[in-house]
Amino acid sequence: KFLINYKMKYSAEQEYPDLSQHNNHMAKVLTAEMYANLRDKETPSGFTLDDVIQTGVDNPGHPFIMTVGCVAGDEETYEVFKDLMDPVIEDRHGGYKPSDKHKTDLNSENLQGGDDLDPNYVLSSRVRTGRSIRGFCLPPHCSRGERRAIENLSIESLDILDGDLKGKYYALKNMTDEEQQQLIDDHFLFDKPVSPLLLASGMARDWPDGRGIWHNDNKTFLVWVNEEDHLRVISMQKGGNMREVFTRFCTGLTKIEALFKERGHEFMWNEHLGYVLTCPSNLGTGLRAGVHVKLPNLSKHEKFGEILKRLRLQKRGTGGVDTAAVGGVFDISNADRLGFSEVELVQMVVDGINLLVDMEKRLEAGESIDDMVPEQK
């Protein structure tokens, strides 16, 4: 029986990555000393420090966004490598401390308002999150056997959903051309990742084996299986009724969680990190709630960036992360994930968008918005 720690033949200095050109969260935190302390550790499934950081070593930085530069390979990664992960989490999530507790609230009744964002400005509303299934390794590390088991469990559970959640699963590997075209037209289809941030972490291995898309007949509730996380759950619809989107989101998620539990599988969650996902940036709620909204005047206002910041919102182009806005239409969503509950984050989006639209109307009328600029939330 082997017990070969082959890389340990080399000193820590010889193995420590060159991060001199790098600008990501991992590179800011990983000192040579920390590397030396963690390099002989592994999780029970065999995920190592080099596995955690590979994507951050291979991708020094991104021009528009501060990337995380590390991933988890399983639930235990966040524990075994806490010396690295805790400071990365703190830096990324606004000072969140190792002793902090995260609150989960998926009771949509606790949301105030949100059913009447002006559809003349708010074109669509969407809420997404991720879920990991306890007992399996995460996408950077899982084997084909694990991935297929996750897919089978997911299909079994999702098939049971009924009412307005009744739907169908489309496995990527045996999709017909018509099915594929329809999913593209519906903006549902996800494709093999092309971003080197994702590829370098190993999550595209064996594509498209074990991957697929489930959606309800109404096309308002969608689950991605085995993309960047075990599950990505998405609720969406045209117009500004974020309340309805969030209600469906919470109902659907809660049902899915119960169905998995019936089959002896729970979601990865703990009271410090909330829901455990592949990327440390998605810990906590894993929730991104957003709208596509027309803000041609406001987006050119010199205080636009500052206003978003104070509202704890972020902007993206309508192609998602990494894209530019087209025709004054922006994707505006919550910036936070950890340390706030789902209800709190969606509330920020609802209140913030209402304010931004009012500001847009003011600017259209040629009036100033100086008295409307909010305090830091």
Binding mask 111-150 for another protein (x = CB under 8 A): --------------------------x---x-xxxx-xx-
Question: What sign does the CA torsion over 262, 45, 173, 197 have?
Answer: positive
Taking the complex as a whole, how short is the minimal distance between the CB of residue 15 and another protein, in angstroms? Answer: 4
Question: Both tokens of residue 44?
Answer: 């029970």
Q: Does 84 bind another protein (CB under 8 A)?
A: no
Which of 28, 34, 36, 58: binder of another protein (CB under 8 A)?
58
Q: Does 209 bind another protein (CB under 8 A)?
A: yes
Main-chain dihedrals φ then ψ at residue 360, nearest 5 degrees: -60, -45
| CA–CA separation, 247 and 253 (whole Å) | 10
Q: Does 151 bind another protein (CB under 8 A)?
A: no
* In contact, 32 and 16? CB cutoff 8 Å: yes
Question: What sign does the CA torsion over 215, 216, 219, 220 have?
Answer: negative
Taking the complex as a whole, how short is the minimal distance between the CB of residue 127 and another protein, in angstroms? Answer: 33
Q: Does 342 bind another protein (CB under 8 A)?
A: no
Q: Does 57 bind another protein (CB under 8 A)?
A: yes
Taking the complex as a whole, how short is the minimal distance between the CB of residue 168 and another protein, in angstroms? Answer: 21
Q: Does 7 bind another protein (CB under 8 A)?
A: yes
Q: For residue 284, list its beta bridge partners.
A: 274, 275
Which of 134, 205, 219, 310: binder of another protein (CB under 8 A)?
205
Which of 24, 47, 121, 157: binder of another protein (CB under 8 A)?
47
Q: Which residues are annotated as a binding site for ATP?
A: 124-128, 187, 232, 288-292, 316-321
Which of 36, 50, 61, 104: binder of another protein (CB under 8 A)?
50
Which of 23, 31, 32, 46: binder of another protein (CB under 8 A)?
46
Region 159-188 residues binding another protein, contact defined as CB under 8 A: 173
Q: Does 2 bind another protein (CB under 8 A)?
A: yes
**CB nearer another protein, residue 17 or residue 87:** 17
Binding mask 251-290 for another protein (x = CB under 8 A): ----------------------------------------
**CB nearer another protein, residue 1 or residue 264:** 1
Q: Does 98 bind another protein (CB under 8 A)?
A: no
Which of 24, 48, 132, 157: binder of another protein (CB under 8 A)?
48
Taking the complex as a whole, how short is the minimal distance between the CB of residue 89 and another protein, in angstroms? Answer: 24
* In contact, 136 and 260? CB cutoff 8 Å: no
Number of residues that bind another protein (CB under 8 A): 43
Which of 22, 29, 51, 278: binder of another protein (CB under 8 A)?
51
Binding region for another protein (CB under 8 A): 1-7, 9-11, 14-18, 21, 42, 44-48, 50-51, 54, 57-58, 137, 141, 143-146, 148-149, 173, 199-200, 204-207, 209
